[in-house]
């Protein structure tokens, strides 16, 4: 996408996904949100916490 900002041309990368792909992503996102809400999917506050959990398993 080409836009103008403060009298300068700016190029902004834009990605257009096929509708089918977006529908599948939305389903996956909803599944993950449900797993987080039910406690099935752990949530980590930092990368370090994630690695600690992975190393403990």
**Of residues 42, 8, 30, the one with CA closest to residue 50:** 42
On whether the CB atoms of residues 2 and 10 are closer than 8 A, the answer is yes
Q: Cα–Cα distance between 1 and 56 in angstroms, integer?
A: 46
Give the 3-state secondary structure of residue 26: helix
Phi then psi dihedrals of residue 20, to 5 deg: -60, -40
pLDDT tens-digit readout, 6-30? 777 888 788 888 988 999 999 999 9
Residue range 20-41: mean pLDDT, rounded: 94
Q: How large is the greatest C-alpha to C-alpha distance in the chain, in angstroms?
A: 56
């Amino acid at each position: 996408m080409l836009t103008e900002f403060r009298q300068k041309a700016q190029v902004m990368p834009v990605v257009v996904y096929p509708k089918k792909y977006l529908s599948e992503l939305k389903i996956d996102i909803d599944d993950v949100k449900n797993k987080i809400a039910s406690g099935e999917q752990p949530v980590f506050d930092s990368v370090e916490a994630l690695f600690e959990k992975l190393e403990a398993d």
